[in-house]
Amino acid sequence: MGTLVTLDLPANSPVADLPWVITIGSLGDGEDWEPVVCGPYERAHALALAQAVVADEELMAVVEPLLPRPDAEAIREEIELARAAAEAPEGDDPGEDDYETRRVRPGRAPTEAEVRAGWGRIAARLAAPANAG
């Protein structure tokens, strides 16, 4: 049985509406291969797909949001936020408490049509003017 790791989001978190990616890798040290990164997906699809893939195998799936940024300055701002969080005194950094790790059992993965429809919704959100949301 595999493991799924994802952010533990509060209800109605705006992060849930971001595109999400799945990184799948070996759960143990016995295998040496590069992790596979797939996405973008809507959060529910990413969680269901990751669960379906790792449920019956010794794999780990990390499901996390993408941070689409429109220009270099916005990316620099994210880097500064990450650096500031890393330099924060212990106790100020949310750290592992923000993540949920669980063993997973097989569930229903979204169909190809559902995933493609999700891609359409993601593309529409990313293409929308910044002030429209």
Q: Which of 48-52, 64-68, 107-111 has the highest mean pLDDT?
A: 48-52
Which of 18-22, 24-28, 35-39, 97-101 shows the lowest mean pLDDT across its residues?
97-101
- Percent with pLDDT over 90 in the chain: 50
Query: pLDDT, tens digit, for every residue of 67-105?
Result: 888 889 999 998 998 898 888 776 544 555 566 666 666
Number of C-beta neighbours around residue 95 at 10 A: 11
In angstroms, the Cα distances linking 17 to 22, 56, 95, 119 are 15, 28, 22, 12
pLDDT confidence of residue 25: 95
pLDDT confidence of residue 106: 61
Number of C-beta neighbours around residue 60 at 10 A: 19
pLDDT confidence of residue 128: 84
